[in-house]
Each structure stands twice: as structure tokens, then as C-alpha cells.
Amino acid sequence: MKHKKIIRRDIPDEHRLPDAIHPVLKRVYAARNIQSSDDLDYSLASLLPYDTLTGINAAVLLLQEAITNKSRILIVADFDADGATSCALAIRGLTLMGAEDIVYVVPNRFEYGYGLTPEIVDVALDYDPDLLITVDNGISSVEGVKRTRENGVKVLITDHHLPGNELPDADAIVNPQLAGDKFPSKNLAGVGVVFYILLALRATLREQGWFDESNLAIPNLAQLLDIVALGTVADVVPLDKNNRIMVAHGLKLIKQNKSIAGIAAILDLAGRPLPTLSASDLGFSIAPRLNAAGRLTDMSLGIECLLTDDTHAAKEMADQLDKLNKERRLIQAEMQEQATIELDDYLEKSSGEIAQGICLFNPDWHQGVIGILAAKVKETFNRPVIAFAKENEEEGGTIIKGSARSINGLHIRDCLEDVTRLNPELILTFGGHAMAAGLTIKESQFELFSECFNEVIKEHISLEDMQDICVTDGELSTEDYSLQLAAEIQSAGPWGQTFPEPVFEGRFKVLDTRIVGGNHLKLKLQTDNKVLDAIAFNMTDEDWPAGTKEILSTYRLGINDFRGNRQLQLFIEYLNPL
């Protein structure tokens, strides 16, 4: 069994949190830099204003002109959940503003690759658009934007990925990552950027009397926050206060059964009860099913599921997405088996030494699933990982596509930029952000790239900093094991990236264990005089020393709601037999 180092979060000495908050929750909040009740004000009035976003005024003028002139607007989306939600949000929001002619294109990743490539521009031009809008992509599409504008089409780029050295010559760009941008949060997902543009557009149209002239109701954009919440959580962007506000309101809509038909249908199919829904349910129940469409076919099915208001159609599309997700899981399982064999061979050849940056390539791997594979290997070794699959054949040789996943404390896109600086011809294309990135290289350069990547990683992070650790919020007293505290923690979120759900630690006597559901470990534990139910998903006791009577564990305090019977339950994150 893999051993991990357990450390506790630092808790600032001073904070001004209300006395009414449970002492444990106060401790949790303080460790996440929540200093006062103002930091917990999730009212929509607390959202950051849109006017500091670079390019927002130019974007509004483009959209206002397109709407009032009844021009054709074409949206070029990305093929992940953030791209799908960004596209659906743009279409729904602009339609509410009075846009009458909106179409979209989403690149098939196997034919066109990522972003506004010249090839996808040729497809887009067949729709004869007046204005082309990218959502969740475009910041690196220099050639694609050039070709679009050469054909007389205006371009609005909306993105949240880091820009390269050269910006596309678009009519307007809105991206909080732009150099000099003064928007206080750099953590908006692509769907968040679109939402902010809609807020600015609505304000301008209202000020100029457009809604009255057109006999349109002023749209309540807060009703679209279920889509924003889904895209934000799915893209695993940091949940700073601004993102938490949008996710909290989106979750509220969904829990009140006021979400769009597609979200409701997928949650129903996944068996997720609405009253206890959390942000993690969006990430683990909806996002994989949406992403499966983009990974195995194309994201049009996912986008249509988010656009329909027909509950029957939504259920049919949710069922198709679920089938694709099951197929994706089978492919992933097979790839993981192959990766395990390759890693075993790799460890044997290197006498057990693991590179600080792991690169894997198999020509038979499915390029739509390599990102998930990279994430799984990363979790196993706590190393940055790039998994490669064959993309296409060119005159100069085979091109392979890589999907990178990083670890805490390492900005993976910066690492790829350093590789390019040291070896300018090595990487053909790349892009991404801190925790995930994509790239292409020649197959013949794989070994050289692997070596260079490993050396760059060594410069960025030490082996000591790669030590696998569990970060906890300390121990609980016997009195803290209560349904009340579990419920307070559940409703205190939304929890997510950089604002993690509380994890506690403790030593427990093991009274009983059994396997449920094939590979989940059910435990009965005791601390002092308190007996507790616990479950460890995807874990067995096969590796335990015989007769283990005590464990050291990290866990989340949760509620098992089975047929209306609510019972306290520990959700085990890690355990170490003592």
C-alpha cells in the first residue's frame, strides 16, 4: 500500500468570522483565507464588475451591431465541457438579446484539431457568417483569424487560456489572461468569459432602449448560471470568490429543479438527487458524459443537449451521452492496462527510478482519451505526465498529439514554453494553462522531447516538492462527528479547485470490514467511544497486513442518504494500516 505524508493546513491566527459558524467550519474557512463574512457573501451583487475586462467595449459594439443589423453570427466552440457550455450559453444569451441568426461549428478533434485552425475556418465560411465568435479558444489562432478576416468576416475572440507571444489580429479579444488586463480574477473559465460579455451587452442594449424598441423583455441572465456553474466546475478552474458566486447560484437553480432540460436529464440518468447536489456532482456526473461526445465523436451532441428545451429530446440525448461515456470508460481501462505494462518496463529499465516528468506514447491509443490517461498516471506517481497518441501522417513523418496533466505547484504550460525556448523546433503546437495543456510533436522526436521535458521539470520543481502528501484540516473531536456538522460542511461550499472540501485525519480502531459493490471497502470504525460507518471507494483490504486492527486515515465528513434514512458516514480519502 502506497504511503503518503500527511500535513495540516496552516490556519491564520486572526479572522473575523461570525460566532454563529461552527468552530470546525471557522477553522476550515480560515485555512482557505476566508477572513470575514464579506468573503462569504455570495450575492450576485458581489460579482466583480465587467468594465475592467480588456476588450469588453469592443466586443459589445461588435455584438450590438450584429444583433441590430440581423447579421449572421457563427460560434466556433471547443470540444470539451467548457467549450460546450460556452457555446450553449452564448446562443441562449444572444437569442434573449434579440439575435435571430446564430449558428455554431464545433471542430471534430480528429479532423481539425484544437481552436480556430485555417481548416475549420474553411468549414465556417460555408455558413456565410458576418461575425465569427470563438468560445473557450482562439487566443493562439493567429492564422485562423487572419484567414477569417481576409474573407471579410469580423472576429471576436473569447478565451481564458494563456496567450502566446503573438496575439491574433481579431476585431476584439476578451480574455482575462491578456497582458495588462485589470480584471481582478484571472480564473474565469471560458463560459465565465461569455457570461461577462453577456452582462456588458445587456447593460448597453438596455441603456440604449433596444429592449423597449424591440418589444423584448430584459433578460434575467442569472437564469443561465446553471450552465455557467457546469462549465466552471468541469474545467477545474480555481474557485475564487467570483467563481464561487456563479457556481453557488447555478447550483441553487439546479437544486430547485429550475435548470435547463439537458442538465436535468443527465443528472436524472446519473441518479443524482437534486436536494443534496454539490459542485462535485457537476464535475463527476455531468462533465464526463458531456466530454465523452467530444472525446469519441464530436461535441455537437453535447451542445444540442444543452440547447434543447424539449425534455423528451434531452432525455434521449442524455442517454446517447451516457452510452458514449461507457464506451469511453472501456477504452480508458484498456489504455490504462497498456500504460501499466509500459510503466513496469520503464521502471525495470531504469532500476525503479521514476523521471520527474513522465512521457508515454502508444500509437494504438485513442487520442480522445489520452488526457484522462495522463491524469490517472499523474495520480499514481504524483508526477507531471504527458500521454501521446498518433494524430496523423504528414510528409515529414507521423505527428503525435500529447495531453499533459500537472501537479500542484507546477505550471505545465510554462514548462512547455521553456522546452520551446531551449529547442525551438521540437514542439509543433502547444497551448493550455497551469494544470493541463495540449501539444503536438513529430513521433521521431518523442525520445528527445521526453528527455528535454524531464530536464525542464527538474528546473521547475524538486523531488521533495513532488512527495505525495495528504493535506488535512486536522482532527475532529468525538462531539464533532455529527449529522449537523456534516450538513453544515455540505452547504458551506461550493467546494472545488483551490477551495477544497474539508478533509480531516484521525486514528481509528477497525471493528469490521467488508467489500461492497465489487471493489469498495465498507468499514466500521471506532474512535474513543464513538462507532462510525465509513466507506473507501475503489479500495480493498487485500494489501493490508493480516489482522490489522488500527488505521491512520484521512476522510471527508459526509452523509449517507439511503431511502430517506440519513446517516453520518466517513468518506475515506487515504488510509494506512498501523
CATH number, span 354-466: 3.10.310.30
Locate CATH 3.10.310.30 in the chain.
Answer: 354-466
Locate CATH 2.40.50.460 in the chain.
Answer: 5-32+470-577
CATH fold label, 49-321? inorganic pyrophosphatase (n-terminal core) (3.90.1640)
pLDDT at 433: 79
pLDDT at 2: 65
**Rounded to whole angstroms, how far apart are CA atoms 303 and 323?**
16
pLDDT at 72: 98
Q: What is the pLDDT of residues 277-291, one digit of tens each?
A: 999 999 999 999 999
Locate CATH 3.90.1640.30 in the chain.
Answer: 49-321
Whose CA is closest to 431, among 116, 59, 193?
116
pLDDT at 81: 94
CB 205 within 8 A of CB 64: yes
pLDDT at 469: 86
CA 74 to chain centre: 25
pLDDT at 110: 66
Q: What's 435's DSSP letter?
A: S
CATH fold label, 5-32+470-577? OB fold (Dihydrolipoamide Acetyltransferase, E2P) (2.40.50)
pLDDT at 327: 92
Element (H, E) at 569: strand 565-577
pLDDT at 129: 98
| Range 170-177, long-range pairs (CB < 8 A, 24+ positions) | 170/138, 170/145, 171/58, 171/62, 172/55, 172/58, 172/59, 172/61, 172/62, 173/54, 173/55, 173/138, 173/139, 174/53, 174/54, 174/55, 174/56, 174/59, 175/54, 175/55, 175/139, 176/53, 177/139
Whose CA is closest to 94, among 126, 143, 137, 131?
131
Residues of the chain with pLDDT under 50: none
pLDDT at 60: 98
pLDDT at 543: 65
